[in-house]
Amino acid sequence: MSNGDDRKKGWVGSAMVGTLLWLVLPGTALAQSQVLPTLSIDAQSDTSTPEGQLDLGLQYIQQGQIEPAIVAFRQAVTLNPNLTLAHYNLGLALREKGDLQGSATAFYQAIQTEPSFALAYANLGAALLEGNNLDLAVQYLQRSIELDPQMGVGYYNLGLVKRMQGDTTGAITALQQALQLSNAPEAAYHLGLTYLQQGDVPKAIQALQQAVAMNPNYAEAHYSLGTILYQQGNLSEALNAFRRSAEANRNYPNAYYGAGLVFIHQGQYAEARQVLQYARDLFATQGNAQWASSAAQLLQQVP
């Protein structure tokens, strides 16, 4: 079962209004922000200028209107192709929309206009990571770290890439650095999964426990702890972990599936049928046909 990562995004304002928010990406998750002032789309700035269009786009973002924001950011870079923050925010907006190629292009344009813009390198690397262009992602993420050695998101995304490449040692080093710099539960979570990939179960448990201590509502981390405990035969603690996962996210089907396995082994068949039916339906609703089928097959095996 795939485990999702949370990826938070931030928006950078023009020099005209100062930095409204500075991003951290990627995925998943490590945003550091300043307080955003409340803006309306009532002529806070001259929209005939590139800076005005940039600010207009940011106002749309605050109202959750991605499409008009993209139009405004595109107009800003049309009026001034060297307006770095317009390219950058365009990249964020396109990434929010799911246009990874357009997002990567916009971030690339941002670093062409400002070669020392570390966050743009980090986000470009993240877009390439999501597009599975791992080797190129590593290059840009390493550059982001060179420019800003204190930026945890660069190490975090680098750790994700290294893990996907099978370099668990490199992934652990990067994720440990990310955790030290950002103190983010996502870094601890992926560190735990990487230790598990190495077969170091005690360290995996320690990192996952750290993740849920930092964020008690981290459904994926509770679930991963539950799977380890289940495999160790510690059924009661595994069930507790799956319950905490479901409590953290009622729509997380993995938690119910795991609980179903425990109930089967405990001989609690009525409970097993109930949670497995719920898991099956959630998987199906969320478009995960493979695991919906797996849950249905397991359900048929319940006495």
92 vs 262: CA distance, rounded Å: 42
In angstroms, the Cα distances linking 140 to 43, 103, 119, 137 are 37, 14, 10, 5
Residue 116 lies in a domain: no
Amino acid at 140: Y
- What's the domain count of the chain? 2
Query: Helix 269-285 to helix 289-300 angle, to the nearest 10 degrees?
Result: 160
CB atoms within 10 A of CB 236: 10
Which pair of structure tokens corresponds to residue 4?
A: 């999702």
Residue 261 lies in a domain: yes
3-state secondary structure the chain: CCCCCCCCCCCCCCCCCCCCCCCCCCCCCCCCCCCCCCCCCCCCCCCCCHHHHHHHHHHHHHCCCHHHHHHHHHHHHHHCCCCHHHHHHHHHHHHHHCCHHHHHHHHHHHHHHCCCCHHHHHHHHHHHHHCCCHHHHHHHHHHHHHHCCCCHHHHHHHHHHHHHCCCHHHHHHHHHHHHHHHCCHHHHHHHHHHHHHHCCHHHHHHHHHHHHHHCCCCHHHHHHHHHHHHHCCCHHHHHHHHHHHHHHCCCCHHHHHHHHHHHHHHCCHHHHHHHHHHHHHHHHHCCCHHHHHHHHHHHHCCC
Q: What is the CATH number of the domain that holds 75?
A: 1.25.40.10
Phi, psi for 170 (deg, rounded to 5): -65, -35
158 vs 164: CA distance, rounded Å: 10
Residue 265 lies in a domain: yes
276 vs 300: CA distance, rounded Å: 10
| pLDDT digits 0-9 by tens, 77-100 | 999 999 999 999 999 999 999 999
Higher pLDDT, 98 or 239: 239
Q: What is the mean pLDDT of residues 93-120?
A: 95
268 vs 276: CA distance, rounded Å: 12
Residue 282 lies in a domain: yes
Query: What domain range is 272 assigned to?
Result: 216-303
| pLDDT digits 0-9 by tens, 148-197 | 999 999 999 999 999 999 999 999 999 999 999 988 999 999 999 999 99
Residue 254 lies in a domain: yes
93 vs 26: CA distance, rounded Å: 13
Q: What's the confidence (pLDDT) of residue 73?
A: 96
Residue 119 lies in a domain: no
Last residue of a domain, one of 48, 82, 106: 106
Last residue of a domain, one of 106, 133, 161: 106
Q: What is the mean pLDDT of the chain?
A: 86
Query: Helix 84-97 to helix 100-113 angle, to the nearest 10 degrees?
Result: 170
In this prediction, residue 1 has a pLDDT band, given cuts at 50, 70 and 90, of very low
Q: Residue 236: is its pLDDT beyond 70?
A: yes
Residue 88 lies in a domain: yes
Q: What's the confidence (pLDDT) of residue 45?
A: 59
| pLDDT digits 0-9 by tens, 11-61 | 444 322 222 232 322 333 333 322 223 333 444 557 889 999 999 999 999
In this prediction, residue 273 has a pLDDT band, given cuts at 50, 70 and 90, of very high
Residue 159 lies in a domain: no
Last residue of a domain, one of 71, 89, 106: 106
Q: What's the confidence (pLDDT) of residue 47?
A: 82
Q: Residue 10: is its pLDDT beyond 90?
A: no
112 vs 27: CA distance, rounded Å: 23
